[in-house]
């Protein structure tokens, strides 16, 4: 077996949460390395939209970061067969191609002195001296002060900590792509046929992206795919191959000192909208703060944990009978919808300690 390598911080996963955390640790002068089994650039099931709060935060965290995007401000929302509510958002959603966007974040990390190790995580164990021994499938081992799990919705670190995920909070996201930039809007359709969930279309960079999400665990995947195809037919979308992924929306916390879960690995995505990039960046920053300041992640990330609980309550209200009636009423008032949308996009602020 290879000699155990000692390192301050080992990050599993080179997606947005892992790459941003690695870059922040590099800026702080903390020795770290990122481990990922994938060959980048790699594609990922995700709409790839950065709301104004997300791209503002990213610009603060990674000065000079450059990535390609398509700005979209036209919002269209429909309930059942009612008239479409349409308005122009105050700030654009930056639609990215996740394959390219994630690679840009990883390149930023590497260009600032970061190390990327191609390997597959197998397991970890806490040592008597408080360090974490991490073993790869190859047998390679690392001894680290901190292990950061940024390995996505199917996180192996999360599974070792908490066992199998709770499927009740593990919605299925299905996506379908049409190459080319045909439209210039974000369209969301709510219906009792999808409840709890929705159908959506994003005019993205270089392609149109159609999506469907459902949290109804009582239905099987073939039936959900059929519902998605029916929705695609309704908007005359070309036929194509469907792709899918389960994204955990149940937020969990590590009970082992020195082990931190961030991004999708910790269930840090908006419970109502599914937006994950904003909280991936926030939890990456909070993990860096915990490591640099010698505090617990529970403390540095307390505001995010609180927000996740609040969003669970909002989700339950939104998809309740009263919530759906309220949405229907709201969509009949485009001006009010625009105000609520713009306010939500700007409401969350995040101060970065210099």
- What does the pLDDT average to over 248-266? 91
Tell me: pLDDT of 73 over 70.
Answer: yes
pLDDT of residue 354: 52
Structure confidence at residue 350 as a pLDDT band (50, 70, 90): low
Render pLDDT for 139-174 as a digit per residue (tens, 0 to 9): 999 999 999 999 988 899 999 998 876 655 667 788
Q: What is the CA radius of gyration of the chain?
A: 20
pLDDT of residue 183: 84
Q: Average pLDDT of the chain? A: 89
The mean-pLDDT minimum among 37-41, 60-64, 236-240, 295-299 falls in: 236-240
pLDDT of residue 318: 85
- 244 versus 338: the higher-pLDDT residue is 338
Percent residues over pLDDT 70 in the chain: 93
- 257 versus 240: the higher-pLDDT residue is 257
Render pLDDT for 12-66 as a digit per residue (tens, 0 to 9): 999 999 999 999 999 999 999 999 999 888 877 777 889 999 999 999 999 999 9
- What does the pLDDT average to over 250-268? 93
Instruction: Compute the Cα dihedral for 328, 333, 338, 340 and give only its sign.
Output: negative
Q: Transcribe 141-185 into DSSP letters.
A: EEEEEEEEE---TT-HHHHHHH-S--GGG--EEEEEEEES----E
pTM of the model: 0.92
Rounded Cα–Cα distance for residues 55 and 46 (Å): 16
CB count, 10 Å around CB of 238?
A: 12
Structure confidence at residue 273 as a pLDDT band (50, 70, 90): confident
């Amino acid at each position: 077996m290879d000699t155990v390598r000692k390192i301050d911080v080992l990050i599993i996963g080179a997606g947005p949460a892992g790459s941003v955390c690695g870059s922040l640790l590099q800026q702080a002068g903390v020795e770290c390395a990122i481990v990922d089994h994938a060959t980048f650039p790699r594609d990922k099931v995700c709409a790839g939209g950065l709301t104004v709060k997300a791209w503002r935060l990213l610009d603060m965290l990674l000065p000079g970061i450059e990535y390609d995007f398509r700005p979209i401000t036209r919002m269209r929302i429909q309930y059942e067969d009612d008239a479409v509510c349409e308005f122009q958002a105050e700030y654009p959603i930056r639609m990215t191609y996740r394959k390219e966007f994630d690679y840009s974040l990883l390149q930023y990390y590497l260009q600032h002195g970061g190390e990327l190790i191609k390997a597959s995580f197998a397991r970890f164990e806490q040592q008597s001296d408080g360090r974490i021994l991490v073993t790869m499938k190859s047998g390679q081992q690392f001894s680290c002060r901190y292990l950061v799990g940024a390995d996505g919705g199917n996180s192996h670190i999360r599974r070792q900590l908490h066992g199998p995920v709770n499927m009740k909070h593990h919605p299925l996201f299905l996506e379908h792509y049409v190459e080319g930039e045909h439209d210039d809007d974000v369209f969301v359709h709510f219906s009792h046929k999808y409840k709890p969930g929705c159908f959506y279309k994003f005019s993205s960079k270089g392609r149109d992206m159609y999506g469907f999400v459902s949290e109804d665990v009582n239905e099987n995947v073939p039936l959900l795919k059929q519902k998605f195809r029916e929705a695609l037919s309704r908007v005359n979308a070309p036929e194509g191959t469907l792709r899918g992924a389960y994204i955990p929306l149940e937020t969990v916390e590590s009970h082992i000192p020195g082990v931190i879960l961030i991004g999708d690995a910790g269930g840090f995505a908006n419970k109502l909208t599914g937006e994950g990039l904003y909280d991936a960046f926030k939890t990456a920053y909070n993990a860096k703060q915990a490591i640099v300041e010698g505090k617990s992640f529970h403390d540095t990330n307390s505001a995010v944990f609180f927000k996740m609980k609040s969003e669970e309550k909002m989700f339950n209200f939104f998809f309740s009978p009263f919530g759906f009636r309220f949405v229907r009423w709201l969509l009949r008032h485009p001006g009010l919808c625009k105000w609520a949308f713009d306010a939500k996009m700007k409401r969350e602020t995040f101060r970065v300690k210099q």
